[in-house]
Amino acid sequence: MEEVLRHVYGVPPLFRTVPVPPPAMSAAGAAIVRYLNTTDAGIATDIDRILDTAEDLHRRRTRR
């Protein structure tokens, strides 16, 4: 999970010798969303807005 957060915030990865493949990064991110959605009622209630915001932030970040 730390590798995913490092990637999201643009921090250098911990494991430079073994790159984390994009599908693994996506799967880990999806696991985080599933966990939060099932354990936090506030997130579950507002999940559509949260995911829309995350998508917008991702688009802005990858436009650079």
pLDDT in tens, 46-62: 999 988 988 888 788 77
Closest-CA residue to 32 (of 7, 11, 62): 7
Rg of the chain's alpha carbons, rounded to an integer?
13
Q: pLDDT class for 64, splitting at 50, 70, 90?
A: low
pLDDT in tens, 13-50: 887 767 778 888 788 888 888 998 899 999 899 999 98
pTM: 0.60
